Amino acid sequence: MIVMKFGGTSVESAAAIERVAGIVRARMHRKPLVVVSAMGKTTNRLLAAAEKAAAGNLGDALRDAEELLAYHRREAGALARGEDRAAMDALLDSHFEQLESTLEQIAAAGQLSPAMWDETASYGERLSSALAALVFPALGVPAVHVDARTVLITDSRHTQALPLYSRTYARFKEKVAPLLEDRVAVMGGFIGAAADGTTTTLGRGGSDFSAAIAGAGIGAEEIQIWTDVDGMLTCDPRVLPGGRRVRKISFEEAAELAYFGAKVLHPATVQPAIEKNIPVRILNSRRPDVEGTLIVAGTVRCRNPIKSIACKRGITVVEIRSLRMLMAHGFLRRIFEVFDRYQTPVDLVTTSEVCVAVTIDQPRQIAEIERELARISDVRVLPNQAILCLVGDALRETAGIGARIFGALRAINVRMISHGASFNNVSLVVRDEDAVAAVAALHEEFFREADPEVFE
């Protein structure tokens, strides 16, 4: 058994869904469970409608819902045949009646609560999975729909729910695995349900997480993440085109890349796969013959010390400086309690005798954070920064890495560096405007020659 997860661009149109059906059909012998994201930009459009409803613009919100209905009817309708067309119309009418009711509830409340955020956002995956299961048989893929909310059981933390693993795995083993003996099961990613049946979501990008949870639940031999790129590359193509494809990489390295901006993989995806030792493969739904990137447990030996460079832009650096830090017990605790109160994660931390510098990528409450920190220290906030993350195996034990990095960046100012906290990465902070030049210089330094066993 395998899990095949397809992202929003892979199911955004009739042509894309037909292409996905062909990919699945070619792998029927491996008993696939298919996990799909919402079609195209549906989730963004759903949440935009919900925000309009919360602001009192219910008419505009309902018109947005009508446009989404027309979009789904048009694309799925191009594939539905005979009786399937009537079933499709009934399915769409039912879901959009529920969506309109949800928007009306939001408008009446005058706010978009976390629970209603989840309920609204869930319609994208509920629709895409049900529609794919409906049209697959006409495309040569016998299929059955599985509502993810019946098998993926989570806590009740809306918008960022976490699975209750033992209960969820038991549900997948009992309800989903038997279906795969003679059919393809299709379910939506990103969504689940709390123990009381309330709809929850795993956070944006959570469809990858859903796929890994499903894979662990059914005991899959491989989890495939089908995207619109050929796999993991030696650099982010949105920052610097022309990177090499990474053939094979370890779970630890992939997790570092994912956390620091490699959008091809959701950071949490690897955890269930690591625990169950299930390899993950990144593949391109537009070029299914490309072997992609295989992510495995254990070390992947390579003649290049660096396997990839991630870039996380739009970062804010907060510098906290105070002479009271000298010999002061509890000063760092007081600093991090401020970030904790405002639920603002910190990526990197550097310290000296009298200064702490941290990076954050969620500056929504930076004014409040700055105000609180100013009571105990001098604070300087530096927006428009970027984190560059160089990932490889055992970098902490590799001599000369620092010299090569700073040699390549001799014309670019490095504001922060973090090395030693992880075996697998060296992270730097530069001005956002220098990010592209910095990535280009580092890529030239470390990938001028590439190990053909690891890179294409």
pLDDT tens-digit profile of 405-428?
A: 999 999 999 999 988 667 788 999
State the Cα–Cα distance between residues 170 and 165, nearest whole angstrom.
8
* Cα separation, 14 vs 56, whole angstroms: 34
Percent of the chain with pLDDT over 90: 77
What are 388's two structure tokens?
Answer: 């560059």
Q: Taking 90 as the threshold, does the pLDDT of residue 255 lie above it?
A: no
Q: CATH 3.40.1160.10 in the chain, residues?
A: 2-228
Q: Tell me the pLDDT band of 63, cut-offs 50, 70 and 90.
A: very high
What amino acid occupies position 62?
L
What average pLDDT does the structure give for the chain? Answer: 92
How remote is the C-alpha of 324 from its chain's centroid? 40
Find out if CATH 3.40.1160.10 is the number for domain 2-228: yes
In the β-sheet with 349-351, what is the strand arrangement from edge to edge? 349-351, 355-360, 308-321, 378-391, 425-431, 416-419
Mean pLDDT, range 124-133, rounded to an integer: 97
Task: Give residue 268's pLDDT band: very low, low, confident or very high (50, 70, 90).
Answer: low
Those residues whose C-beta lies under 8 Å from the C-beta of residue 72, and which sit 6 or more positions away, are: 39, 42, 92, 127, 131
* pLDDT tops 70 at residue 75: yes
| pLDDT (average), residues 85-107 | 96
Torsion of CA 236, 242, 244, 245, to 10 degrees: 60
CB atoms within 10 A of CB 394: 10
3-state secondary structure of 199: strand
pTM: 0.84
Mean per-residue pLDDT, 233-255:
89
* Level-2 CATH architecture, domain 308-447: 2-Layer Sandwich (3.30)
Which H or E element spans position 67?
helix 58-77
pLDDT confidence of 269, banded at 50, 70, 90? confident
CATH 3.30.2130.10 range(s) for the chain read 308-447
Highest mean pLDDT pick, 266-275, 369-378, 432-441? 432-441
Cα dist from 384 to 253, 280, 311, 442, whole Å: 26, 34, 13, 20
**pLDDT score recorded for residue 354:** 82
Is 312:405 a contact under the CB 8 Å cutoff?
Answer: no
158 and 114 Cβ atoms separated by less than 8 Å:
yes
Q: Give the model's confidence band at 111: pLDDT under 50 very low, under 70 low, under 90 confident, else very high.
A: very high
Q: How much is the pLDDT for 262?
A: 63
Tally helices (H) and strands (E) across the chain.
13, 17
Q: Which of 123-137, 180-194, 342-356 has the lowest mean pLDDT?
A: 342-356
